[in-house]
Amino acid sequence: MAKNRRTQGMPTRVELLKNNKLSKNIEILNPNLIRIFEKKNDTSLFSLNLEKDEDMEERFLDISSERVITKFGDFEVKVDDCLNVSVLKNGHRYFEEYSGDDTEIRIIDQVFDLAALEGHAKQEHIVEFKARCNFTLFSDDDKIYGLGDKTAHFNRRDFEYISWNSDEPTQHNETYRSLYKSINFLMVTHDGMWYGLFYPSSYKTVWNLGKYNKKYMYYGSEKGENDYFLILGEGPSDIVKTYYKLIGPQLFTTLKFMGAHQSRWSYSEAEAREMLRHHVEDHWPLDFIHFDIDYMEDYKVYTVNNNYISDLKSLSAEFKKDGVGVITILDPGVKLQEGYEIYDYLTAHNGFAKKDGVDYVNAVWPGDSKYPNYFKKEVRDYLTAATADFMEKYGISGIWCDMNEPASFKGPLPSDVEFADDEGRVLYHDRVHNLYAEYMSKTVAQAFIQKNKRPSVITRAAFATTSRYTTSWNGDNQSLWDHLRASLPQLATMNMSGFAMNSVDVGGFGNDCSKELLIRWTEANILIPYFRNHSCKNSRYQEPYAFDRETYDICKKYYQLRYDLMPYLYDLQWQAHADGSPMIAPLFYYYPEEPRTLEENTEVMIGELLLHAPILNQGQRSRLVYFPEGRWVDLFTKKVYEGKKEYIVEMELGATGLFAREGALLPMYQGLTSLDKKQIDTLYICPVAGEGTDPENIDFLPYTNHEDDGESLDYERGIYNETVYSYDGKKLDAVKVTGRYPSDYKQVKILPF
Ligand code: GLC
């Protein structure tokens, strides 16, 4: 094979010596990925793809006498006397480990003392780090994006975060340091350049993004090693894709899962039937109803309370007949109760976490409970079987994994709670806490995979690699305009971290949703990858039909739009699974060279072809919209907007700023109310042309569409169709790239825009 010019002759590993002692290693996995470490983290509990580029030469370099380690493409990797690594790009400072001597950590502890003085629990703060690395912030304009589900704006500069999966029911605001997920991946941009960092450890990790000293940021970890990946690239999209290769592939879930989900804690049987009636009689699009914890007997997992739902099996059959699947919630905590099968089995088989030699007990919804040790295969196999049996017995289509941080109502789990693995090796809680949800999700997903089904699994907590097994949502937000605003950066940041099928509770979980908030939230989130309206017990009901006719009609119109655009959303999921491309992205993902995009928190891209600038404020009826390069057409009014400009756009209640790139070919369905493949016999292709523009004068972009059965794993064996459509303003052309799936489409038709 011809050698790649970029990698030829590059050392794959450089050992840096200080006073003749090995102090640091630089391992070059490919021209975009460098691992810098003193000692590697033990990553055996989660999967990373660590293969090196095939054509890289195995070459070690003793750097004790050299300062420039390697040069490739535009990059030059260097090291200074203190072994700080830096990278130049075309001779410009691109990445640096910080070498200043002002890196002492100044914790402003009074804040926490004040809280303690006022009787609040003293917040834990880490000051002693076993591993810590400082990275230069070049100027006040450097921007930092990433770290997963945080309720902040895209740019997380100046804040401090802690990767420690946490179930915090209080109102998440932009300074919240730990939420449900721990994703140690971020991207930095300065002076038009971009790089990424990934810290591969499941131990509690602090990310200080310039809070104490604006000249540097750092990660610090109590127990992890000094070891991180530096991701080089031209811009955010290639950094995201390189990162994705390291942690993916993420789960590719079903077509049906991408329909609308309706949930509340907890629906009674009568309320569930009322929902189904709206679906059947009013043609309100719906694919899933969720049953929250009250369907269980005393919150015991894998049981059903027949006083709450008299016959779950016939109820789910009733729903299924009308195209609606049932998803039930599953918590990890197992009620401490002798005679309860799951409890007895896991107790007898040493299947629970232990402390000081005995099963560890804390409390969750069922009261005193024990925590299954998912790190043991025997436990996983048992609970996979229990999940499969439960789904089979009651006709359940999906499982919603909650409380898997793991949550605990009697204080945090001590760090020495033990989870023994199959070899009897003890894994302590401080190492596996952030991985608990991953192992639970994997256990549940297996119940689907065993049957050649793509998993319909949802998780609340997650680690960087957890999307391999499950979709996710971002936990207990509230019915607040602030949380509607936060939803876009949250979802798009998760999407840039390999978690495409991510959701927030539409309408907000806690507090009372108003009519206006529900309408605006539905408009703003209607094209998010996974769409679920969910609310808390005792809050105002917030189903689209819970308010008045106007609310219902507006929401229905948008639900229908989601279903009509489903082939486009499905293709986005296909691509996300293939290479980590976000389904929902910040504007800067596609237009990093337009400075106006770097701090844009209120507009998002849905794939490359749609731009969404919704109303996110109470009482607002128009807003400023920034259009990136190109010409953009309002999906509803057909008005054209020129790129690299800002416009004020009117958006009455019921109108949202949704724009398509002129020249796009949008694949669509028409009028479906559930995603049943049997109902789908026509694919429409809609050529986007602005009002008054002759389609023959537009250069339409070719569009690649994917089709398969939407539910099995057969696509992995190549059973799918890939078709490239093109249009010259008059005639549609289709070129089949692969075609092993017997197509459901009897026809492909042009749908006039
Ligand atoms: C947790 C979940 C929420 C669920 C509730 C009851 O708070 O985040 O979605 O409704 O528990 O199960």
Ligand 1 atom closest to Cα of 293? 12
Tell me the helices (H) and strands (E) count for the chain, helix number first. 13, 48
Question: Please, are residues 44 and 35 in contact by the beta-carbon 8 Å criterion?
Answer: no
Cβ–ligand 1 distance for 304 under 6 Å, the answer no
* Tens digit of each residue's pLDDT (9 = 90 or more) over 287-327: 999 999 999 999 999 999 999 999 999 999 999 999 999 99
Is residue 274 very low, low, confident or very high in pLDDT (cuts 50, 70, 90)?
A: very high
Residue 110 has pLDDT above 50, yes or no: no
Spatial CB neighbours of 124, under 8 Å, sequence gap ≥ 6: none
Q: Cα 385 vs. chain centroid, distance in angstroms? A: 27
Distance 504 CA to ligand 1 centre (A): 12
289 lines ligand 1 (CB under 6 A): no
Pocket test for ligand 1, best of 264, 460, 476 (most atoms within 8 A of CB): 476
Average pLDDT value for residue range 455-466: 98
Q: Where are the alpha helices (DSSP H) in 395-453?
A: 429-432, 436-449
* Residue 60 pLDDT exceeds 70: no
Ligand 1 atom closest to the Cα of residue 263 is 10
Tell the residue nearest (CA) to atom 10 of ligand 1: 265
Per-residue pLDDT, 1: 36
Let me know if 746 is exposed, middle or buried by CB neighbors in 10 A (0-12, 13-18, 19+). Answer: exposed
Dist. CA 372–CA 419, nearest whole Å? 9
Q: Is the CB of 402 under 6 A from ligand 1?
A: yes
**Cα–ligand 1 centroid distance for 402 (angstroms):** 7
Q: Report the pLDDT value the prediction gives residue 63, as an integer from 0 to 100.
A: 57
Q: Does the model's pTM come out above 0.85?
A: yes
565-584 exposure pattern, b = at least 16 Cβ within 10 A, e = fewer: bbbbbbbbbbbbbeebbbbb
Contact 59, 52 (CB under 8 A): no
Band (71; pLDDT cuts 50, 70, 90): confident
Please state, rounded to an integer, the average pLDDT across all residues of the chain. 94
Residue 634 Cβ < 6 Å to ligand 1:
no
Q: Is the dihedral of CA 569, 571, 574, 579 positive or negative?
A: negative
Pocket test for ligand 1, best of 166, 296, 365, 402 (most atoms within 8 A of CB): 402
Section 556-573 average pLDDT? 98
**Mean pLDDT (whole number) for 269-284:** 98
